[in-house]
Structure 1
Amino acid sequence: MPSFAETTKVWARIGFLSFGGPAGQIALMHRTIVDEKRWVSEERFLHALNYCMLLPGPEAQQLATYIGWLLHGTRGGLVAGLLFILPGFAVILALSTAYALYHQAEWLQSLFFGLKAAVLAIVIEAVIRIGRRALKARFHRVVAALAFLALFALDVPFPVVIVLAGLAGFVLHGFAPKALVDAATEPSQLPADLAALRAAPPFIRTLGVLVFWVAVWQLPLLLTGAHALKAGFIPEAMGGDANSFAAVFSFFSRMALVTFGGAYAVLAYVAQTAVEHYAWLRPGEMLDGLALAETTPGPLVLVLCYVGFLATFRNPMGLDPVLAGMLGAGLAAWATFVPSFIWIFAGAPYVERLRANTALSGALSAITAAVVGVILNLAIWFALHVLFGEVGRATLLSRTVEAGAAGRVEVPLISIAWPEWQSLDLAALGVSLLAVLLTFRLKVGMVKTLAICAVVGFVLNQFI
């Protein structure tokens, strides 16, 4: 067992280097926690990832919280989850302030250009490592392939893919258990006292955890209402649109419960609502915020903090606009990320118990295989957006249907992400190939690889 101080340093490093969206972040944690430190086994890592993939919210932050909880209980989960998002939150807060005051963000792309290209090599390495260890039977390889095709070509939500894979594994386990590799009954690597503490929580304790964290989650709503009264707003406006702080917090609290599939699953809705209903943003500003979030460490849903900043910056309710913007960004972050701690602290003990349930071992091993397909899909999506300036959809199969006054229209049934080949970024391709060479051929460490590629990318983007 590592010391608490040692894990804190590692989580801080992961937080500062967690570029590349969920694919890059999961790859970074896998390489650090499983391969380098060997704090948890491959099976336990994938078991935790299976659970986090089913939850709303940022799965990478939830995975960090889960592993931190495994190692050092509640304080370990808090430190891991917070350090995973705080560096990115600090960066997005500073960038949102600069954007609101000066409306400039182009320089950031040069600063982080090389890092994004280098993370691609780490993602590729993670897919290879996880796939080699998780796909131990023909059934698992078939499940991984079908999961990838369902996500990449059919655009099926990955919670649905994971549930279907689990059902397939559960059914097959009842008829042909030897066709499956049991990844759920691997012996605990934790000391017996900690394993027992986390494996069998009493119901009252779980209920108490739920009540406590839900109260913590919704506490800012009371504070925003109190500020509204102090500022002279009528009680009816305490939770309405006129109270920008309460509106930001209540809106993103609702979003936290439905963000299945990651940030892109809700960004279109958030952008439309923020522009058309609340008038927090002007058209096009959501794309600027997405560019900021994509090039900074931490979960992509940190873009919601940018939205919260602009919302309260432009309606400060008697406060200094910059201070109001920072509070709005903090409220958006609180509403978005605190539920992740609820899911882990209340649910993870029960998920750990499933590892010893032989009846569910087939389902869990099939889910592990499906997760490989999920990560491969994320990796390809990330690679396309790093290497190409424009990525669209190519229709492979469509059907003609009647659409009333519009006549007969083509409805795509199967489509895949397809880049505009003329938009290939040769500089990004060069830095990515350099990262692949450093990682696979020269066996250079991850931090050194990121540093080298960051410098090379900055020089290419700025001066050549």
Structure 2
Amino acid sequence: MEMPEVRFGEAVRVWARVAALSFGGPAGQIAVMHRILVDEKKWISENRFLHALNYCMLLPGPEAHQLSVYIGWLLNGTRGGLVAGGLFMLPGVLAILALSILYALVGNTDVVSAIFLGLKAAVLAVVLQAVFRIGRRVLNGAFPAAIAALAFIGSAFFGLAFPLVVLIAGLAGALAIRPEPAVLAAADGARRPAPSRSLGILALGLTIWFLPLLVVLLFLGRDHVFMEIGLFFSQMAVVSFGGAYAVLSYVAQVAVDSYGWLTAGEMLDGLALAETTPGPLILVVQFVAFMGALRGGGPLDPMVAAVIGGLLASWVTFVPSFLWIFLGAPYVEALRGNRMLSGALAGVTAAVVGVILNLAFWFALRTWFAERRSLQGYGIEFDMPILSSLDPVALALSLFAMMGLFLTRLGMLPVLGLAALASLLLHMAGVAG
């Protein structure tokens, strides 16, 4: 099927519609794009859509955002990719910014705390649902199941960094499937762009990516929190395979334990905010950076520093996604049918299931238990919950949310809203603190 001629103005309107409906995390966002672009508009075929999605899954960063850039590029060239990707993230960026400011101003009140207790408890159910959805699709044998289990054990109990888990899983997947020479030859024979074009895009993309950091270095110095934010989330943009859920456990651990930008409870609040807004879930990094800059952005006004820090985190998170697509899209045909890359992807996606399960585990420990005891030795790094510190209200709210998602099959937004309302009512009745 040839790509149809799509007027740019019409494409802009459609991408604005996609952006307005992009709730529900990557699965929901990809489903919205498929329904509108494949079923309704018929701008792209099913096979072409899936091929683009598979390519985006090979890349670090938010695959739903990259898919919008890729399809926008297919339909209308570079300007199409810029508009599609920009509109896809813009509503979420603005929503998270507004909610972060509101949180910083009133987030310590009892009523707001009660609402966020319900949201945090429900987020656990949302993350577990992601584990089941992805696991049902990719854990189709003993080999991927073993990778997922080892990824969970390594990240949860031995402190293995997410990039290392991804690397090991990808290598294991690539080696487990022996590519056929004919398949590799066909892939290698695909038409490729001139190296000069790729070098030009790479140079321009890297300049746009790191220009804000150069400005920070010149005017505020290497040790300013803006540099920490820019460098850390630039690193995340390079190693964040498997989507937001997979990388958030690593982001949470570093932001909370190493940098001290925010507390574990605030990290959960940020995830709850990101779950309730349109756009990629990875926008939670904007909230994380907002809170970090709010407390360490001197000599700037704290709120000004927070806004700049949050937007900087989003900049270095999403600019690389445009770069990966514009740089690699012409090479996509070379990936078609490559079984070694398919094996690597299978290994990474299997490991992602284990890493997401670790994210749910990490959040559960900090939502359900007020106190934990660190256990270290023989390579093990684990926070053992103190059972007497269990919060029964938080546990009950999580179970309530799980029933809504798994049994009654309510949507994510209704479950989050009902959990927040239930927590608020319990607080008003004097049951919850």
> For the structure 1 residues 327 and 125, does the alpha-carbon distance in structure 2 shift closer, same or farther, using more than 3 Å as the test?
closer
Q: For the residues of structure 2 that align with 1:390 and 1:46, how far apart are their CA atoms?
A: 42
Cα offset for 1:436?
2.0
- % identical aligned pairs: 32
5+ residue gaps, structure 1, are 18-27, 53-58, 178-183, 186-198, 226-236, 275-284, 396-410
Q: For the residues of structure 1 that align with 2:368 and 2:55, how far apart are their CA atoms?
A: 32
C-alpha contact (below 8 Å) 1:249/1:335 kept by paired residues:
no
Aligned to 1:88: 96
Aligned to 1:359: 340
Partner SS for 1:315: coil
Q: Per-residue CA shift, 1:268-318, capped at 9, x if unaligned?
A: 68637x8xxxxxxxxxx7678657635532314532223324444x423xx
Aligned to 1:456: 422
Q: For the residues of structure 2 that align with 1:63 and 1:46, how far apart are their CA atoms?
A: 9
Aligned to 1:169: 173
1:77 lines up with 2:43 in the alignment: no
Question: Which one of 275, 293, 296 corresponds to residue 308 of structure 1?
Answer: 293
- AA partner of residue 64 (structure 1): A
- AA partner of residue 263 (structure 1): V
1:211 lines up with 2:203 in the alignment: yes
Aligned to 2:134: 130
Aligned to 2:231: 254
1:424 lines up with 2:432 in the alignment: no
Superposition TM-score, scaled by structure 1 size: 0.67
Return 424-433 or 34-43, whichever deviates more.
34-43
C-alpha contact (below 8 Å) 2:256/2:264 kept by paired residues:
no
Q: For the residues of structure 2 that align with 1:381 and 1:303, how far apart are their CA atoms?
A: 17
Q: For the residues of structure 2 that align with 1:81 and 1:6, how far apart are their CA atoms?
A: 14
Cα offset for 1:69?
1.9
> For the structure 1 residues 49 and 459, does the alpha-carbon distance in structure 2 shift closer, same or farther, using more than 3 Å as the test?
farther
C-alpha contact (below 8 Å) 1:34/1:45 kept by paired residues:
no
Task: Show the 5 A alignment for 1:310-389.
Answer: 310-312=295-297, 314-316=298-300, 323=304, 326-327=307-308, 329-331=310-312, 333-335=314-316, 337-347=318-328, 350=331, 353-389=334-370
5+ residue gaps, structure 2, are 4-9, 39-45, 74-80, 185-190, 240-246, 275-282
Aligned to 2:66: 66
| Structure index of larger Rg | 1
> For the structure 1 residues 70 and 328, does the alpha-carbon distance in structure 2 shift closer, same or farther, using more than 3 Å as the test?
closer
Aligned to 1:111: 115
> For the structure 1 residues 4 and 445, does the alpha-carbon distance in structure 2 shift closer, same or farther, using more than 3 Å as the test?
farther
Q: For the residues of structure 1 that align with 2:57 and 2:372, how far apart are their CA atoms?
A: 28
Partner SS for 2:379: strand
Cα offset for 1:325?
5.4
Superposition TM-score, scaled by structure 2 size: 0.71
Aligned to 2:27: 30
Q: Per-residue CA shift, 1:88-123, capped at 9, x if unaligned?
A: 222223434x27xxx946553223222222232232
C-alpha contact (below 8 Å) 1:210/1:346 kept by paired residues:
yes
Aligned to 1:192: none
Cα offset for 1:134?
0.8
Cα offset for 1:421?
1.7
Q: How many residues align?
A: 377
> For the structure 1 residues 375 and 335, does the alpha-carbon distance in structure 2 shift closer, same or farther, using more than 3 Å as the test?
closer
Return 332-341 or 357-366, whichever deviates more.
332-341
Could you say what the CA RMSD is over the residues aligned between the two structures, in angstroms? 4.0
Aligned to 1:414: 380
Q: For the residues of structure 2 that align with 1:389 and 1:37, how far apart are their CA atoms?
A: 43
- AA partner of residue 421 (structure 1): L
Cα offset for 1:250?
3.6
- AA partner of residue 142 (structure 2): R
Partner SS for 1:174: coil
Task: Show the 5 A alignment for 1:435-446.
Answer: 435-446=401-412
Q: Per-residue CA shift, 1:130-183, capped at 9, x if unaligned?
A: 2122122222222222222222222211221222122222222239x9xxxxxx
Q: Per-residue CA shift, 1:393-437, capped at 9, x if unaligned?
A: 445xxxxxxxxxxxxxxx342344432222222222222222222
- AA partner of residue 77 (structure 1): G
C-alpha contact (below 8 Å) 2:135/2:353 kept by paired residues:
yes
C-alpha contact (below 8 Å) 1:173/1:362 kept by paired residues:
yes
C-alpha contact (below 8 Å) 1:147/1:370 kept by paired residues:
yes
Q: For the residues of structure 2 that align with 1:42 and 1:117, how far apart are their CA atoms?
A: 34
> For the structure 1 residues 428 and 350, does the alpha-carbon distance in structure 2 shift closer, same or farther, using more than 3 Å as the test?
farther
Aligned to 1:228: none
Q: For the residues of structure 2 that align with 1:300 and 1:324, how far apart are their CA atoms?
A: 15
C-alpha contact (below 8 Å) 2:122/2:398 kept by paired residues:
yes
Q: Per-residue CA shift, 1:198-257, capped at 9, x if unaligned?
A: x955433333333333333344467679xxxxxxxxxxx73537xx9xx45444332233
Partner SS for 1:418: strand
C-alpha contact (below 8 Å) 2:252/2:264 kept by paired residues:
no
Aligned to 1:180: none
Q: For the residues of structure 1 that align with 2:58 and 2:12, how far apart are their CA atoms?
A: 25
Partner SS for 1:359: helix
